[in-house]
Amino acid sequence: MSENLKKEIPDIPTIFVIFGITGDLARRKLIPALLDLYGKGFLPKRFSLVGFSRRTFSEEEFKNLLREYINDKNHSYNEKLVEEFIENSSYLQGFFDSEDGYKSLQKRLEEIDIGFGQCSNKLFYLAVPPSQYETIFKGIGKSELNKPCDDNTGWTRILVEKPFGNNTDTAIKLDKMLGKIFDEEQIFRIDHYLAKEALQNIMVFRFANGMFEPIWNRNHINSVHILFHEAEGLRTRGAFYDSVGLLRDVGQNHMLAMLSHVAMEEPKFLTAYYVRPERAKVLGALKKIKSSAIENQVIRGQYEGFQGEEGVAEGSETETFFSLKAYINNSRWRGVPFYMKSGKGLGNEKMEINVHFGMRNQRELSKYDCKGGCKCNVLTFRIQPNEGISISFWVKRPGFENEVESKRLNFSYEESGFGSMIPDAYERVLFDCIIGEQTLFSSTDEVKNSWKFITPILERWTKTPLHKYKKGSDGPVSKLF
């Protein structure tokens, strides 16, 4: 991040309250990201972290837990810096559904403010399963923790993880409830894929390079393939996962965020005010999949052994794989299939988007001797790993004949020296929330529109078979593409 951005960091002490500090997200992403921000000087100079959770820990046990989280990751910070970071942290045991918990939290925040000698900024991070959101919103509202302690200095903001809701109705209900407690400028709905560097680059690639706009449409693009293949299984998240499933976990949010970047119209300016409505508009144009089309447009699967994972119910029918075919009902994309495919426990980890351009017709191509058959040009955005962009094209194989071969033009962040500059998406999420920048967070309309596309699938696809696949494979044998 640029040093210039440091000027945006509030010179007001800031308290980060993490609900669900003992969970997988806090361990793997939040604490390492906060430490990174601290190490780079991107946290407010005076900050405090309060972990709030159900378990009982002494202060020392909690600090040891943070040390464990930090040591799980490779980092290059010296012990002094790590200990300074940990010294700014404290733990509070409490139940999300008990008034006493929020009262104790209020008291703890007041004590910290007294230590700072002023009313500080408060950032509440909900790193808990979605089933807890409603309870915590109510708890925060009732105890008036949503209100800043001073009208002029400290702000209060809330960060909510995805999936936001369970379907269209619950998402709308949850959003209404949240809207009664916080103003929209205080709400940061997270989809950390929006904060992935390589995803943001899609907009720049499309709109800053004038050569793509004339061909970025149904006349030149045959299909778009969005892949979200994960090698890992569930880690410690069996129970959470079983209650949510893959379509809600990554389809409704991360993959639709990927789709929106490829398909959206150019925003007038790159600010939240202009970018979020464009993302929302294209999601709103997704054609609902009809019941009669479910079998042809959607496949769901489960890896063998899923039902024996810790936390997963016996006989569970939760999907760990899906592929689907979507269409966008607007003049740019009408008739172009957008394929989405995702799975846990697949052999080949990749999150990428492949844009397939139209083939020249066979008669025109027949004069070239394409090795392996003439195929279309494919533009690939690699979101991770090995972030980059490449395009396949045909070249003449040197020699006396007209043999042509497929090659790739490749831009790799790593090879360009950009690799080490890529911030972790959670660093970006936390930093942007601290400076009050909402572009990389989902708006109400984005959340609503993505659920409107996903909910009919969830309601109908249980009637279709659940295909089994082996861990480490390419997914079920039945495939859409």
Q: Where are the alpha helices (DSSP H) in 232-288?
A: 238-244, 246, 256-263, 272-284
* DSSP β-bridge partners for residue 159: 125, 188
User: Which residues, including other chains, have CB under 8 Å from residue 210's CB and lie 6 or more apart?
Assistant: none
Provide the minimum distance between the beta carbon of 249 and ligand BG6 in the complex, in angstroms, as a whole number.
Answer: 5
Alpha carbons 284 and 286: distance in angstroms, whole number: 6
Q: Pick from 134, 197, 230, 369 the residue near ligand BG6 by CB under 6 A.
A: 230
Q: Would you please indicate which residues are annotated as catalytic (active-site) residues?
A: 254
The residue (of 254 and 356) whose beta carbon lies closer to ligand BG6 is: 254
The binding track of 351-380 with respect to ligand BG6, each residue x by CB under 6 A or -, is ------------------------------
Nearest to 246 by CA among 469, 9, 92, 4: 469
- Report yes or no: 94 and 52 within 8 Å, Cβ to Cβ: yes
Maximum distance among all alpha carbons in the chain? 83
The residue (of 230 and 445) whose beta carbon lies closer to ligand BG6 is: 230
Q: Does 178 bind ligand BG6 (CB under 6 A)?
A: no
Alpha carbons 206 and 456: distance in angstroms, whole number: 31
User: Which residues, including other chains, have CB under 8 Å from residue 162's CB and lie 6 or more apart?
Assistant: 189, 190, 191, 252, 253, 254, 442
For residue 168, CA distances in Å to 148, 165, 298, 458 come to 31, 7, 19, 11
Provide the minimum distance between the beta carbon of 198 and ligand BG6 in the complex, in angstroms, as a whole number.
Answer: 11
Nearest to 163 by CA among 249, 42, 35: 249
The binding track of 431-460 with respect to ligand BG6, each residue x by CB under 6 A or -, is ------------------------------
The residue (of 108 and 341) whose beta carbon lies closer to ligand BG6 is: 341
The string of DSSP letters for 299-330 reads EEEEETTGGGSTTPPTT----SEEEEEE-B-S
Provide the minimum distance between the beta carbon of 382 and ligand BG6 in the complex, in angstroms, as a whole number.
Answer: 12
The residue (of 46 and 350) whose beta carbon lies closer to ligand BG6 is: 350
Q: Cα-flanking dihedrals φ and ψ of residue 225, to 5°?
A: -120, 120
For residue 32, CA distances in Å to 56, 85, 346, 398 come to 22, 11, 26, 51
Q: Does 250 bind ligand BG6 (CB under 6 A)?
A: yes
Segments of 39-155 assigned E as strands: 47-53, 89-93, 121-126
Provide the minimum distance between the beta carbon of 13 and ligand BG6 in the complex, in angstroms, as a whole number.
Answer: 30
The residue (of 15 and 425) whose beta carbon lies closer to ligand BG6 is: 425
Residue type, 298: V
- Half-sphere exposure of residue 27: CA atoms within 13 angstroms, side-chain side: 12
The residues in 387-426 that bind ligand BG6, with binding defined as CB under 6 A, are 425
- Report yes or no: 263 and 334 within 8 Å, Cβ to Cβ: no
Distance spanning both ends of the chain, measured CA to CA: 39
Provide the minimum distance between the beta carbon of 449 and ligand BG6 in the complex, in angstroms, as a whole number.
Answer: 19
Provide the minimum distance between the beta carbon of 273 and ligand BG6 in the complex, in angstroms, as a whole number.
Answer: 26
The residue (of 181 and 194) whose beta carbon lies closer to ligand BG6 is: 194
The residue (of 59 and 349) whose beta carbon lies closer to ligand BG6 is: 349
Query: What letter does residue 346 receive in the DSSP assignment?
Result: B
Provide the minimum distance between the beta carbon of 424 and ligand BG6 in the complex, in angstroms, as a whole number.
Answer: 8
The residue (of 160 and 425) whose beta carbon lies closer to ligand BG6 is: 425
Q: Does 249 bind ligand BG6 (CB under 6 A)?
A: yes
**Closest residue (Cβ) to ligand BG6?**
249
Q: Does 175 bind ligand BG6 (CB under 6 A)?
A: no
Provide the minimum distance between the beta carbon of 66 and ligand BG6 in the complex, in angstroms, as a whole number.
Answer: 21
Q: Cα-flanking dihedrals φ and ψ of residue 114, to 5°?
A: -60, -40
Residues binding ligand BG6: number (CB under 6 A): 4
* Three-class DSSP labels, 36-53: HHHHHCCCCCCEEEEEEE
For residue 446, CA distances in Å to 158, 377, 451 come to 18, 31, 9
Provide the minimum distance between the beta carbon of 434 and ligand BG6 in the complex, in angstroms, as a whole number.
Answer: 20
The residue (of 230 and 437) whose beta carbon lies closer to ligand BG6 is: 230
In the complex, the residues that contact ligand BG6 under the rule CB under 6 A are 230, 249-250, 425
